[in-house]
Structures are given as structure tokens and as C-alpha cells.
């Protein structure tokens, strides 16, 4: 019971963190692109 609950709590959190990291990388690459222009 406890394991299932933690799984349902951690999966969205990990997804959210992964999306956040990807967004940060995208913003950084966009910034580098604008600096090179």
C-alpha cells in the first residue's frame, strides 16, 4: 500500500523535474543562439 502511494507521488514529481531540466536546457540554448547573432 505504502509503496504504491509513493510510486504515484514520485512519478509525477520526476516527470515534472525532467520537463523542467529540458526547459532550462532549451532556454540556455536559445540564449546562446541570440548571443551568437
- Give the pLDDT confidence of 1-37 residue by residue, as tens digits: 567 787 788 888 888 888 999 999 999 999 999 898 8
Q: What does the block give as the cell for 5?
A: 502511494
Provide the Cα torsion 4, 9, 14, 20; round to 10°: 160
Report the helix count and the strand count for the chain, using DSSP H and E: 1, 0
Question: 23-32 — which CB contacts under 8 Å span 24+ positions?
Answer: none
User: What per-residue confidence (pLDDT) applies to 1?
Assistant: 57
Q: What does the block give as the cell for 14?
A: 520526476
Residue 5 three-state SS: helix
Taking the C-alpha atoms of residue 27 and residue 30, their distance in angstroms, rounded to an integer, is 5
Amino acid at each position: 500500500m505504502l509503496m504504491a502511494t509513493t510510486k504515484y507521488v514520485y512519478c509525477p514529481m520526476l516527470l515534472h523535474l525532467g520537463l523542467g531540466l529540458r526547459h532550462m536546457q532549451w532556454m540556455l540554448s536559445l540564449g546562446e543562439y541570440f548571443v551568437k547573432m
